[in-house]
């Protein structure tokens, strides 16, 4: 049976539309003239050398940069058609809809179970059965359940770095977001932990939009559906990952992914 293009368009509708995005820390520009769309239920890989603006861009998608003094943006970022930088926009709700996992694992000093239910509880969910269901579902989706299901009451700080990173992912999933923002989630992790997180990403894209910042170009090649190459605050190239890694349109892209700089 031939695929239905209209159905595919609906499945991968535009999640974010970025137009004319400029970002500044004080008077220093970090991003310049960023224009592209992020489609839903796909993995977007963002690559580029250190200082290219990758993390700054990622943090504009849920306005975490608002917490940085003297940070400001110009242009528009539409989340499902609504400008997230318009006055009175509900930033708290935005950060629930677009949760972030950072490069360094963040395990709260409490049990594994309490780490996962922390967000749902603050959202008003109190029933024990419902909370346990959320814990099991979230840990399974983060590929951690089988490793911790017999010790949910033990301290999360006793987990390995790779396990704590997957716990951080489970804590985001417990809030049932629409978008998962990953800022170098495998930085410093061993190959086995990295493989599990990548496996989780590929599985999760069936339900969530995933934006992955990575310094590992091969990781983007393995898991991303589309890739954006940033250099010195500008978007050099954006397109299907396979095309970018086999026939990049810009010579700078080719030089970066082949290791000639970066």
Q: What is the pLDDT of residues 201-241, one digit of tens each?
A: 999 999 999 999 999 999 999 999 999 999 999 999 999 99
CATH architecture of the region 5-257: 3-Layer(aba) Sandwich (3.40)
Question: Nearest 5 degrees, angle CA 60-CA 64-CA 67?
Answer: 125
The answer to whether 210 touches 47, Cβ cutoff 8 Å, is: no
The pLDDT assigned to 5 comes to 43
Least confidently predicted of 11-20, 77-86, 96-105, 139-148:
11-20
Is the pLDDT at 158 greater than 70? The verdict is yes
Concatenating the DSSP letter of every residue in 162-214 gives HHHHHHHHHHHHTT--SEEEEESTTTT--HHHHHHHHHHHHHHTTTSEEEEE-
* Spatial distance between the Cα atoms of 211 and 58, rounded to a whole number of angstroms: 8
Is the pLDDT at 3 greater than 70? The verdict is no
Q: What value does the CA radius of gyration of the chain take, rounded to a whole number of Å?
A: 19
Longest alpha-carbon distance in the chain: 56
Residue of 204, 236, 180, 206 lying closest to 36 (CA atoms):
236
The pLDDT assigned to 76 comes to 96
- Would you call 102 helix, strand, or coil by DSSP? coil
First to last CA, the chain: 44
- Would you call 71 helix, strand, or coil by DSSP? strand
Residue of 33, 15, 14 lying closest to 23 (CA atoms):
33
* Spatial distance between the Cα atoms of 131 and 244, rounded to a whole number of angstroms: 43
% the chain with pLDDT above 70: 95
Distance of CA 196 to the CA centre of its chain: 16
**pTM check: above 0.85:** yes
Q: What is the pLDDT of residues 166-175, one digit of tens each?
A: 999 999 999 9
* Spatial distance between the Cα atoms of 259 and 31, rounded to a whole number of angstroms: 23
Length of the chain: 262
- Would you call 50 helix, strand, or coil by DSSP? coil
Long-range contacts, 149-153 (Cβ 8 Å, 24+): 151/112, 152/111, 152/112, 152/113, 153/111, 153/112, 153/113
**Hey, where are the domains in the chain?**
5-257
- Mean of pLDDT values over 61-70: 95
Strand order in the sheet with 209-213: 98-101, 179-183, 209-213, 43-47, 226-231, 234-240
- Mean of pLDDT values over 107-130: 95
Sign, CA dihedral 34-35-40-46, equals negative
């Amino acid at each position: 049976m031939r695929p239905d293009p209209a159905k595919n368009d609906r499945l991968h509708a535009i999640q974010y539309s970025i137009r004319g995005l400029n970002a500044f820390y004080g008077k220093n520009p970090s991003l310049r003239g960023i224009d592209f769309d992020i489609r839903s239920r796909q993995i977007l890989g963002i690559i580029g050398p250190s200082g290219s603006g990758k993390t700054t861009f990622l943090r504009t998608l849920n306005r975490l940069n608002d917490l940085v003094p003297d940070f400001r943006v110009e242009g528009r970022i539409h989340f499902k058609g609504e400008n997230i930088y318009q006055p009175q926009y509900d930033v708290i709700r935005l950060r629930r809809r677009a949760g972030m996992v950072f490069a360094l694992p963040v395990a709260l000093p409490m049990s594994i179970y309490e780490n996962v239910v922390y967000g749902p509880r603050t959202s008003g969910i109190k029933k024990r059965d419902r909370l346990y269901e959320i814990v099991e579902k979230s840990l399974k989706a983060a590929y951690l359940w089988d490793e911790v299901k017999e010790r949910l009451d033990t301290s999360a700080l006793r987990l390995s770095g790779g396990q704590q990173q997957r716990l951080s992912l489970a804590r985001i999933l417990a809030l049932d977001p629409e978008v998962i923002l990953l800022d170098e989630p495998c930085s410093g992790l061993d190959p086995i932990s990295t493989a599990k997180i990548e496996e989780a990403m590929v599985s999760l894209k069936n339900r969530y939009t995933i934006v992955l910042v990575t310094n590992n170009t091969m990781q983007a090649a393995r898991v991303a559906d589309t890739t954006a190459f940033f250099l010195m605050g500008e978007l050099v190239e954006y397109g299907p990952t396979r095309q970018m890694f086999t026939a990049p349109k810009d010579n700078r892209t080719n030089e970066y992914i082949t290791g000639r700089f970066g």
